[in-house]
Amino acid sequence: MSRQSVAKAHQKIQELSWEPAYHEPVSQYGTDYTFRKAQKKDPLKQVLRSYFPMQEEKDHRVYGASDGAIRGNMFRQVQERWLEWQKLFLSIIPLPEISAARAMPLLFRTVPNPELHNGQAIQMIDEVRHSTIQQNLKRLYMNNYIDPAGFNSSLRNFQSDYCGTIGRQFAEGFITGDAITAASIYLTIVAETAFTNTLFVAMPAEAAANGDYLLPTVFHSVQSDESRHISNGYATLLMALADEDNHQLLARDLRYAWWNNHRVVDAAIGTFIEYGTKDRRKDRESYAEMWRRWIYDDYYRSYLVPLEKYGLEIPHDLIEESWNQIWNKGYVHEVAQFFATGWLANYWRIDPMTDKDFEWFEYKYPGWYDKYGAWWENYNRLSRPNGHKPIVFEDVDYEYPHRCWTCMVPCLVREDMVMAKVDGQWRTYCHEMCKWTDETAFRPTYQGRQTPNMGKLIGHREWETLYHGWNWADVVSDMGFVRDDGKTMVAQPHLDLNPDKMWTLDHLRKCPPLASPNVLLNQMTDDERTAFAARYVKGGPAGRPAPAEA
């Protein structure tokens, strides 16, 4: 279709919508937001007659590249260090994608603008595309990459593993609770508009640098749809801003959504990009540099700040604090170190860092070696079984962390840990903001205002609770992270596929039992708990226990 005819066609399809005359459509999702019937136009201007062939053409390119990758033996040049982290990433991402599809109906009744619903329906089917095309990419990796373990058990792993659980917020947050908080602010305004830049643009670039050009092929194709979804969110946001009663809720939701996205996405993608790459050219961007470009400049300064004049309260403090966490407090490094500490609870292999890596980290993050260097040297030393236990049980100046009740990433920047008794249970939080999310934001009243539609944090949010007191061999067996010989673990703290160098359940059997930090916290007396918290916040960086009292 010509450009002119697309515009005409789009105008014509506006005749399709109609106001009910006899029965209102079912209303199944609530919101505390109010909307005037503002004449907001469908920002997508998408007509299915051109949409379907466009997507089909994009598919041709993706699947053509997939064939090419196999015929051209791409996997002879793929870095295992990189592909191993894709076992985690590609186990997580199809669920957030499909959840975004499921989220669209939350907006039908709550945003009373039929013109926007057209764009939301197209987003729905885009998300079905993303979820299944990503499952397919993972299938291709499983079939063609040297080590299929972890890809072959992907969705089981994701659903029972603590890393998967952290990632799952990036799905369930879209489909529950207040419809606008979930499907608009959390999903489209923050997750898609801000963080898909690092997910679907920055990360694929790193994949290409590690010999994998299929991830960029698939994810850039996905990202070309995201730009349309961003328009959906923007149109809804402008409608919400038109009603002053919404401003307080917008401020709350932006704070929650921003902080949660930072905690979850920066933890995961930061780790993949910094610790999953073999590309240590000094002039390649670090995650911090990418974040500054994609999130701080492109999203915060170019997208959010201009909305301030319309009355949107921007969480400037949290954006600066996120940067502070990444740049000054080593958030990504702390997370990567924790993933590597807990390698035995995972379903991918984590390559030790080398001198070349150390040099790059020191160049990009001055002071890195003094904080993290010795620990990674120990990781390398302890990576092959040789009469010792996995690193988490050895004396390497690292204290196993407590977990954040809200974002479920552990409380790694020790000085920021806060504690509260909420809903009758003592909980630790990685930061004051995560405590606020649980204690204040996800509640039926907010600053004295009734918010009956706000969602709830539910579930067994501390993974260790389920396995409190278990032997580690039984934990790993129960989760199913075992290879087909019945004893070799899927996860390994190195990339050596020599079976003699791989850890097995027999090694784990000799380890101390798993102890849940949260169960232990709730067993403490008040005095013990106060002392614990005072000591915990003096710990770090790099997981170091607090210095002994003089």
Task: Single out the residue of 378, 488, 535, 544 in contact with other proteins (rule: CB under 8 A).
Answer: 488
Q: Which residue has the tokens 């793929």?
A: 78
- Least distance to other proteins, CB of residue 220, Å: 16
- Least distance to other proteins, CB of residue 250, Å: 19
Neighbours of 469 (CB within 10 A): 9
Report 53-72 residues binding other proteins (CB under 8 A).
53, 55-56, 59, 63
User: How would DSSP label each residue in 166-200?
Assistant: HHHHHHHHHHSSSHHIIIIIIIIIIIIIIIHIIII
CB 240 within 8 A of CB 246: yes
Burial state string for 152-187 with b = 16 or more CB within 10 A and e = fewer than 16: bbbeebbebbbbbbbbbbbbbbbbbbbbbbbbbbbb
In the bound state with other proteins, the residue whose beta carbon lies nearer, of 329 and 494, is 494
- Least distance to other proteins, CB of residue 151, Å: 8
Q: Which of 164, 178, 361 is nearest to 264 (CA)?
A: 164
Task: Kindly determine how many residues on this chain lie close enough to bind other proteins according to the rule CB under 8 A.
Answer: 129
Report 202-221 residues binding other proteins (CB under 8 A).
208-211
- Least distance to other proteins, CB of residue 180, Å: 14
459 binds other proteins (CB under 8 A): yes
320 binds other proteins (CB under 8 A): no
- Least distance to other proteins, CB of residue 242, Å: 23
What torsion, rounded to 10 degrees, do the Cα atoms 434, 436, 441, 442 define? Answer: 60
Between CA 33 and CA 180 the distance in angstroms is: 7
Residue 247: exposure state from Cβ atoms within 10 A (0-12, 13-18, ≥19): middle
Between CA 134 and CA 200 the distance in angstroms is: 12
Task: Single out the residue of 65, 90, 101, 180 in contact with other proteins (rule: CB under 8 A).
Answer: 101
In the bound state with other proteins, the residue whose beta carbon lies nearer, of 169 and 337, is 169
**What single DSSP character describes residue 492?**
B
CB 308 within 8 A of CB 242: no
- Least distance to other proteins, CB of residue 160, Å: 4
Task: Single out the residue of 43, 119, 173, 539 in contact with other proteins (rule: CB under 8 A).
Answer: 173
Residue 325: exposure state from Cβ atoms within 10 A (0-12, 13-18, ≥19): buried
Task: Single out the residue of 139, 247, 364, 529 in contact with other proteins (rule: CB under 8 A).
Answer: 139
Which residues share a beta bridge with 349?
492
With contacts defined by CB under 8 A, name the span among 293-301, 373-381, 476-484, 534-542 that binds other proteins. Answer: 476-484
- Least distance to other proteins, CB of residue 523, Å: 10
- Least distance to other proteins, CB of residue 9, Å: 6
Task: Single out the residue of 41, 421, 460, 510 in contact with other proteins (rule: CB under 8 A).
Answer: 460
Letter for the amino acid at 46?
Q
Task: Single out the residue of 360, 376, 463, 536 in contact with other proteins (rule: CB under 8 A).
Answer: 463
In the bound state with other proteins, the residue whose beta carbon lies nearer, of 378 and 488, is 488
In the bound state with other proteins, the residue whose beta carbon lies nearer, of 88 and 479, is 479
What torsion, rounded to 10 degrees, do the Cα atoms 74, 77, 82, 86 define? Answer: 20
425 binds other proteins (CB under 8 A): no
Task: Single out the residue of 498, 527, 547, 550 in contact with other proteins (rule: CB under 8 A).
Answer: 498
In the bound state with other proteins, the residue whose beta carbon lies nearer, of 56 and 395, is 56
3-state secondary structure of 449: strand
Task: Single out the residue of 80, 285, 298, 399 in contact with other proteins (rule: CB under 8 A).
Answer: 80
* CB neighbour list of residue 75: distance below 8 Å, 6 or more residues apart: 69, 144, 145, 146
Report 13-32 residues binding other proteins (CB under 8 A).
13, 15-18, 20-26, 28-30
In the bound state with other proteins, the residue whose beta carbon lies nearer, of 102 and 544, is 102
Report 429-458 residues binding other proteins (CB under 8 A).
444, 452-458
104 binds other proteins (CB under 8 A): yes
